[in-house]
Structure 1
Amino acid sequence: MNSSLGPLTDGARVVIVGGGPGGIGTALALNNLARQMQRDVQITVYEGKVFAGEQHFNQCSGVLSPPIEQTLRDGLGVAFPHHLVQRAITGYILHSDRRAILLESDDPPSYAMRRVQFDNYLVEQARARDIRIVNSRVTDIEIHADRVIVYSESGNDQADVIVGAFGSDDGSAVIFERATDYRAPRFLASVVTKLHPREEWMNNFGNHIHAFLPAMRGIEFGAVTPKGNHLTINVAGEFVNAQMMNRFLHSPATQAVLPCLDEAQGDHDLRYFKGRFPFSQARAFSGDRYVIVGDAAGLMRPFKGKGVNSALLTGTWAAQAMMTAGISARALREYHRACREITDDLPYGKSFRLLTIALCKTQLFDMVIALAAQDARLRRMLFDAVSAHHSYRSIVAKMLDARWLARMAALSARLPFQKNDRLDKAASNS
């Protein structure tokens, strides 16, 4: 081991806990940088799951948004797997309890795919670059002045630095909390299921994600995402559970989109899976000889936007810091500075989330959708918020325009006298 806390040099060893996009993204970015800098860095990734064979169900809607192709190419040196794309997502239909509106833009599409296939693709890319993948769970770590010791179900290992990319896994979080000052972020719960409708019905569903903001207690948002031959359905909330998913599936707004619930074709249709994702930032997500990336660091937008992108980006930023600045707490402040693209937006996202919850629970979001039907600027803001194509900070800045706010006030005054359609069409002269 190298007792130096400076940049990783020839013979440096890195252990990564977690083989999802954050972990493999970090490994590939390290490998890419080491090759460019002509350094021999040995990388080992520990992952308890085996993604090949698709034996695991990933509690993620599996939508990858722009600029995912650029992120993979420039940061990781990996081509985007177009062969895994099941559907190009061209827009969203945003639902309140009584209204819905179509949101589209000229932006590049997002891509729906099976997350387990994408994860396996990244793992195979890592193996092709001689990155060591160990299918074993890490059981403990020790961080010493001159090295890190890693204990796993298959043995132990030593490294100069350890990367935590374990997502929302409680067991791994406790291991890092015991050995470092790291403290896990707070999480929202999610319930995910899938549905295989008849082929004809599925072909007519379209290429839009249906996003729901119901007034229903316990649910912050829900979504129905079209894939190749099936739909992925998820709901999220701090204490969301299977009973709430049942209520969501049988609510009038959801039934208007999914009249085919009784026609499930797949053996595992409407089986529920439980997951989590962060809605706050972790404490001390780096220090001497350790760094945390992705969901485990709480580095993700509210409403679970760009989760895969954020994992890949934070992994790339961590790799850059380790290769150019070092692996001390002070050197890894470079990683924190890079993460400001995400962390600076979190307060705006939190405010946006609380405002949305308040509007939904008081059923005032119906008015927002009605206004959006008459105003192109508001439609674009809603699209950016739902799609995660732009930061919440930029959305809030657009909202604080005095002339636009005056226009919204004038439109609001006329709303009670207008017809309340179920689907609000975008006004062509907005």
Structure 2
Amino acid sequence: MKIHKLITDSDELAALCERLARADFVCVDTEFMRESTYWPELCLIQIADVNEAAAVDPMAPGLDMSPLLDLLVDNEDVLKIFHAGGQDVEIIYNLTGKTPHPIFDTQIAMMAISQSEQIGYSNLVESWLGFAIDKGARFTDWSRRPLTERQIEYAIGDVTHLAKIFPRILKRLIKTNRGHWLDAEMEKLADPDNYRNDAGNAWLKIKAAGRNPAMLGRLKALAAWREYEAQDKNIPRGRIARDETLADIASHPPKAQADLAKVRGLSPGWKDNEIGKRLMQAIEASKPLTEAEMPPKAPRGAPLGKEGALVADLLKLLLKIRAREIDVAARLLARSDDLELLAAGVRKDVSILEGWRYEVFGKDALELVEGRLAFAVVGGRLKMTHVDELHDDMREANALPAEEDEDGPLPLTEDDAEA
């Protein structure tokens, strides 16, 4: 594979992207800093196909990034490969207003062919390629220039290794016929709604006790105010005010700006500075949420009760057994909410009762709930079996006499008793 160490020239980048546009897939990774800023600061983009790889320096003066961004978001003929790519996709969305498509995430894919739910990149490389990667440059300051040879080599390795691993994962998915299991997960990763920064919805991510419309209206206004302040100053939103501080102010709103000095989590200076003034304006302009704006109550289905909770526990055990049997991550098959809904008697709009999840797990989960499936220890191993097969399995494992019928051993005869 040809390695281009660091691209800082527009013509060189355009030529690279022209070649990569003819590839079946490209592997993509980014290095960024966001500890002290609201917006992640893009410091490096690494990209590779099976023939060549490069690190692109977006901080290089005068570098025209448009050929690379066009390749990532507008070229539908090239599959874009990431590993745990959520933050990478967010950065590309912030730059372009679009997400890469079509997209494939190897961390998600590993859930369909192993029991790994969030396998890290170093473990992925070690499991597929058999060597450990150097993590020494992982936590360096990627914004400092010039970058060292070690930094560049480490960064490019993230995509060169991925270019070797992806075809092997794809081959395994084809062999197991599990590729279609991932379609919805990959589309979810590429959904622009996941990355759209709507200040009006920021309050939904803040935990607040109670469902009072006036309190939630204040929380909505305060959360939006904080987003605008953080964006304007390009600092993390927590540096403006923490979530719990906003929730406390929404529940117990100050009557005057001077009262802000008494609010835990705010500086005493807020009692008479401009940011404190804008906070008070946000409170005063807030309106109670309408009925349509109120968040839905936490979905609980029918009340579980003690027996229902036990059924949910059995379903979780069934999930563990099935995940182990077919070597798949349990979280890909089902989530706890789905199991509790099923245990509570809900049968509509439950994901495990639809599509491939029903065939692989949901059908057995339904049979367990409805009494047609049972657990048994056979040969020292926990397994699930249909009730009408359970006795036969136990008989075979314990070598029970053949004349024992389904109701247990036949009664002793007089001759047997004398013997």
TM-score by length of 2: 0.25
Rg bigger for which structure? 2
User: Which structure's residues are more often strand, by fraction?
Assistant: 1
TM-score (norm 1): 0.25
Q: Which has the higher helix share?
A: 2
